[in-house]
Amino acid sequence: MTRVAPTAYVDPQARIGRDVDIAPGCYVGPNVVLGDRCRLLPNVTITGHTQVGADNLFYPGAVIGCDPQDLKYRGGDTRLVIGDHNVFRELVTVHRGTEDGGAITQIGSHNQFQVSCHIAHDVLVGDHCVLSNTVQIAGHVAIEDHVNISGLVGVQQFVTLGRYAFIAGLTRCTLDVPPYTIFAGYEGAAVSVNEEGLRRWGFTQEQIDKLWGLYKLLYSKRSDRAGKTITHRIEHAESNGPLSEHERYLLEFVKRSLNDGKCGRYLEAQRAKKRQQPVFYHHGAAAS
């Protein structure tokens, strides 16, 4: 049985699943789909073309599905799609996609977004991720599975965070973050293998040791014997015997960012080549 508080507003056109609990002060818009057993605590807003799976929990003040904060957004019916078993803590904001960015923001399942996180337009989030307090994710970012982001981290547009990565608090992410690593610092760099995180997710010590060996080959200052540049070191690793699944993935990820990306961001190079006419946002600007 679905429960809607008398002071909540649910648009008659919204599609609400079974056993949903909507607390006082909530707003659910006409184009919203809420899956079974979702819980909206007081003063949650879910609007726009937003599809929410089952067993999601929204804490007070969360605002989900609003228009993107992109000046190029033209008011289209873009979408937000959320999977199952996610937790959105107080004051989390998640925006829909834009027409030029794929028209969809997508969040997987079993994620936790802690207080005051912001997920911007056209972001893709995988499964089993944790974003700590006040993490700010800019538009067009891709977050792969099992990523853990500490508090007060800022992630630039078009950055990819590789799977099983751990981003330390106050880190500035302007480059793609290699999978399986700890990424830290104002300039943002891989500083270690995320050994503790990998162990928690069931990696064997043998798998972790192999990733350590590859990490040292790629990033250690003592690995000049394998090549002066990271490109040479990748070539050395690929020619030095068979690689495990995770070693191959790490190498492919790094190669993609270096060779196919722009400024170390693979997704930056995937922007549509066709540019639209310039848009002038400021009053009085003359069109060229």
DSSP 203: -
Separation in Å, CA 13 to CA 29, 49, 58, 158, 186: 8, 12, 21, 35, 47
* From 122, 176, 188, 197, active-site residue: 122
CB 50 within 8 A of CB 79: yes
Chain-centroid distance, C-alpha 30: 26
Q: Provide the token pair at 19.
A: 């056993």
Measured between alpha carbons, how far apart are the two ends of the chain, in Å?
59
The closest alpha carbon to 265, from 183, 187, 177, 193, belongs to 177
* From 61, 139, 162, 261, active-site residue: 139
Q: Which residue has the tokens 């997710």?
A: 201
* From 49, 118, 121, 140, active-site residue: 121
Active site residue 139: yes
Q: Return the amino acid letter for 212.
A: W
Separation in Å, CA 217 to CA 97, 178, 211, 220, 230: 39, 14, 10, 6, 9
Active site residue 21: no
CB 76 within 8 A of CB 99: yes
What Rg, from alpha-carbon coordinates, does the chain have? 21
Active site residue 128: no
Strands 181-184 and 189-193: antiparallel
Q: What is the Cα–Cα distance from 22 to 64, expressed in whole angstroms?
A: 14
Which residue numbers are catalytic? 121-122, 139
